[in-house]
Structure 1
Amino acid sequence: MSGEGGGPQAIRKLAPGRLVIASHNPGKVREIRALLAPYGIEPVSAADLDLPEPDETGTSFVANAELKAMQAADLSGLPALADDSGLCVEALGGEPGIFSARWAGPGKDFGVAMQAVEDRLAALHPAPPRDAHFICALALAWPDGHVEWFEGRVDGTLVWPPRGANGFGYDAMFLPLGGSETFGEMDPEAKHAMSHRADAFAQLVAAVF
């Protein structure tokens, strides 16, 4: 799904040059840089430009991604790409969802966040299915206020204890459907080939490059 108002395809193409990655999350910035590498884009992060982190007041992944991208584009005078993503656990009614980062607390400790997910699942009787999915919304904004958005998804199940030290966030407890390694165990290239972020990014590339 993409475009202003969810239209079928983007209207505006992205020219080569500088692009702000509107994130202060080093893991996300690293992944997005790798995905942008082939396209003649010069990524610069919001942290590099000392841009503030906006309050994520949206009620959906797309709304939060748009909010972050629009603020970064407005403050920098450059096109900006923002990501809002999270883990949605079916048995928890889709939680933590848009609050995935907040579950990690002020210290952004995702060990704490993963334990919170596991504790909530363990409190349910009978033991529920452990189905989950990651969502990634990408919003691309220009300084004049034009925005395009794209949403990707990957389905899987949750494992415990967490496995692997690669990736970030909830990756170490997420086993993609049909896989034998968690996102935390996979090489970054393998994750890039199938992740929710890669899904959204493929849509963006097809539309705007």
Structure 2
Amino acid sequence: MASTHVNPTRMELTRLKRKLVTAKRGHKLLKDKRDELMRRFLDLVRENKTLREEVERGIAAANQNFVLARAAMSDETVNTAFLAPKQEVTLEASHKNVMSVEIPVFDIKTRTADENDIYSYGFAFTSGDLDDAVKSLADILPQMLRLAEVEKACQLMASEIEKTRRRVNALEHVMIPQLQENIKYITMKLDENERSTQIRLMKVKDMILEQAHHYSEKQ
């Protein structure tokens, strides 16, 4: 039903028609954005599944090696091995814009480029299983950071998809139908006014002709 506050004038009709064109264009753009967000979201979900499986396998392998190392070494030896780490890792966080969504990007930098600096201990009094555990954790660190990026990106994209979906539904089911109803209402009112005006003009014309006819008869 058309709004009762609509002013049935040609100026208002023109304004509503322009607004309807803009609403339809915005509706199409938002639908395209929603579809593209969904496509990228599904790609991230698949990547997230693969990364999580890899990280879980790596952590499980590292834990297994740590258990073997602790079985072959005393607690004091294990604790002493990690007292003075040689390598230092710095995490840098930035963002990239994907379909108006700020996606986090993580980057790690090590203090030294030597891969052997991940071992903070000498190899004389430690088990090889401890070396394997440290190497397993170092190897899966990039995947863990990427997993953190992807999971956060999935959360942000899911929120943006929901907001975009609500906007699309509001335009599709509320705003556009209301504008169409108002345009129809104004068009009908203007047509009705035009017919009324035409009828009044015809009656006036008939009255003028009738008066002119009576005047000519008197003459």
What's the TM-score, normalizing by structure 2?
A: 0.22
- The structure that has the greater radius of gyration is 2
What's the TM-score, normalizing by structure 1?
A: 0.23
Larger fraction in strand: 1
Greater relative CO (CA pairs within 8 A, separation 6+): 2
